[in-house]
């Protein structure tokens, strides 16, 4: 590869990086400059292994839910983080992900916290009573129907 070809490749890569930075800047501006939302987004990006741009929306959901609590216990907060991806999870899946996030979890405690969060309208069971699958109410766009 000649020097000119190498320079052309570098220019192309830098152009892509610039486009991604501009997209990130747009998303950060949409977040309204709230450092708490940025911090949540960084935590979610690490936990969910997704790009920051994708986790900003999840961070906004987490922030809006947590803002409704005067106090929130660490397990409920971890559950909200897990469900912020707007994917329906079983209690076992949530317990496994909370364990990844916090280092420990108990299926029984997760189940208790989910009942409390469901009673407050924070989470919704999109499965069935026999096979519950939970997601955040804030994710409710009609995407997930109840199982028959």
Q: Indicate the domain borders of the chain.
A: 1-30, 33-139
Task: Tell me which of 3-12, 24-33, 91-100 is least confident.
Answer: 24-33
Q: Is the pLDDT of residue 68 over 60?
A: yes
CA–CA distance, 97 with 103 (Å, rounded to integer) = 9
**pLDDT at res. 125:** 95
**pLDDT at res. 22:** 74
CA 71 from chain centre, in angstroms, equals 20
**Average pLDDT, stretch 20-46?**
70
Q: Is the pLDDT of residue 145 over 70?
A: no
Q: Any residues with CB less than 8 A from the CB of 86 and at least 6 apart, and which?
A: 58, 61, 135, 136, 139, 143
Neighbours of 12 (CB within 10 A): 10
Residue in 13, 11, 113, 24 with CA at minimum distance from that of residue 69: 113
Q: Any residues with CB less than 8 A from the CB of 111 and at least 6 apart, and which?
A: 91
Q: Any residues with CB less than 8 A from the CB of 116 and at least 6 apart, and which?
A: 76
Q: What angle do CA 100, 102, 108 make, to 5 degrees?
A: 90
CA–CA distance, 133 with 148 (Å, rounded to integer) = 13
Give the predicted TM-score (pTM) of the model: 0.69
Looking at domain 33-139, its CATH architecture is Orthogonal Bundle (1.10)
147 confidence band (pLDDT: 50, 70, 90): very low
């Amino acid at each position: 590869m000649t020097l000119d070809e190498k320079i052309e490749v570098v220019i192309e890569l830098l152009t892509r990086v610039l486009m991604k930075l501009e997209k990130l800047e747009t998303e950060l501006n949409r977040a309204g400059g709230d450092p708490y939302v940025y911090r949540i987004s960084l935590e979610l990006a690490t936990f969910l292994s997704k790009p920051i741009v994708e986790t900003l929306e999840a961070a906004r959901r987490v922030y809006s839910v947590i803002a409704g609590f005067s106090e929130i216990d660490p397990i409920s907060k971890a559950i909200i983080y897990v469900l912020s991806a707007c994917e329906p999870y079983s209690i076992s899946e949530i317990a496994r992900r909370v364990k990844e996030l916090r280092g420990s979890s108990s299926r029984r405690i997760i189940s208790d916290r989910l009942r409390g969060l469901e009673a407050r309208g924070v989470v919704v069971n999109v499965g069935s009573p026999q096979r519950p699958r939970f997601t955040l109410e804030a994710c409710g766009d009609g995407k997930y129907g109840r199982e028959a």
